[in-house]
Copies of this chain bind each other. A is one copy, B any other.
Amino acid sequence: MTKAAIMGYGTVGSGVAEVLAGNPEKIAWSARQGVELKYILDVRDFPESPFADKIIHDFAVIESDPEVSVVAECIGGATIAYEYVRRCLEAHKSVATSNKELIAEKGLELLGIARDNGVSLMFEGAVGGGIPIIRTLTQYFSGNKINEVFGILNATTNYILTQMNECGLEFGEVLKDAQRRGYAEADPTADVDGIDACRKICILADLSFSRNISPAWVKTTGVRSMTPADTAFAEEMGCAIKLLGRSLRRGDKVTAYVAPHLIPRGKVLYDVNGVMNAVVVNAEGIGDCIFTGAGAGKLPTASAVVADMADAVRHAYEEKRAIWESADESVFFDSDELVSRWYVRSSAAPVEMQRAFDGAVYTAGGECAVLTQPMDARQLAETAGRIPLLSAFRVLD
């Protein structure tokens, strides 16, 4: 029997407490010993909670208790969470977290501290909610070179895009509805501006290409400027619009970016709607492997954290963890160099669009849209010339 602590009793933290309490035998089997919750750290008290007697307010209690061998970090952010996780690892406690900001920004350093202290830092819940993509990348694709990893990584924006598409609504209306339903935060910036997806694709790139890809290098476009005209044109063209995080290898170099894409019907990810997430891994010898599941939510994420806690306990004295190397920007190439077809929308005259882009012109409401020939971002700008583009999204072919 070992003891566990939870730091932060919000949505994920309370889910971790529930999952731990709900399946003690399965967790004990997986961890090869019982895992008992001893503390929940939070600034607040929760007198109504079934776990009220576990609540503490002083981190030092966890840090100094030798009985506690594994800690779930459910605080969020990369300030207090960073300090507490570092100190847990230094106190020889393994940590499981779903905090993508922490891992994308500080993962390399914290994984080093974990290694130096003979414990584990696990973060299955940081990407893809309930989808086991982290352990799959860490453990499974070991015999195969990964060429590309991409996916629908943010449940909030996928819900918004699905609703815009199905109901023909404006972005602002759907966002408000998503906030009412609890699918979007009161401050939706990290989701709708692609920041969350950026952190997640950085973590997937780190693991896929064994190099630390900084979120600062990654060109990131969100969905805030999406209009019903875009989703309507896309549908007419036989495509769905999805916000993708994407990272790929070209020789020894890697790129990563976040942007809306048009996905043609029948292609992978076209049908992944609502709050579902999906990750595609393309590896030599295996081809595309696609992992789909609930991208968010208290229990899927909490389940991922608890699976990590059990793994950390089982492997307490073994080197079994994600690693990647530090890297400077010279390993990175600009995603603008990637060649693809583009969807462009403009208020220019259809004949002008036709002349510039040489493709079928779709018109509606005084605007028009075209799917271009394959080209990179610079060529797109040159081809457009003086035509002002209201939207320009890559097509995932």
Which residues of A come within 8 Å of B, CB atoms? Answer: 19-20, 23, 26-27, 29-32, 124, 130-132, 135-136, 139-145, 266, 271, 283, 285-294, 299-300, 302-303, 306-307, 310-311, 314-315, 318-320
Contacts and interface: CB of A to CB of B under 8 A. Distances in A.
Contacts of A143: 19-20, 23, 26-27, 30, 303, 306-307, 310
Contact of A32 (B23, B32, B319): B319
Given A139-B307, A271-B266, A314-B320, A289 B144 contact: no
Contact of A303 (B23, B26, B130, B286): B286
A31 to B, nearest CB: 8
B287 A30 contact: no
B300 A285 contact: yes
A326 to B, nearest CB: 17
Copy number in the complex reads: 2
Contacts of A139: 30, 132, 135, 307, 311
Given A132-B140, A288-B292, 10 more contacts: A19-B144, A19-B285, A27-B142, A31-B142, A140-B307, A143-B307, A288-B294, A289-B292, A289-B293, A291-B292
Contacts of A19: 143-144, 285
User: Nearest 7 A-B pairs (CB), nearest first?
Assistant: A30-B142, A285-B299, A143-B306, A289-B293, A290-B292, A130-B286, A132-B140
Contacts of A318: 315, 318
Contacts of A144: 19, 23, 26, 303
B302 A285 contact: yes
Contacts of A290: 290-293
A146 to B, nearest CB: 10
A147 to B, nearest CB: 13
Nearest to A286: B130
A71 to B, nearest CB: 16
Contacts of A30: 139, 142-143
B311 A26 contact: no
Contacts of A130: 285-287, 289
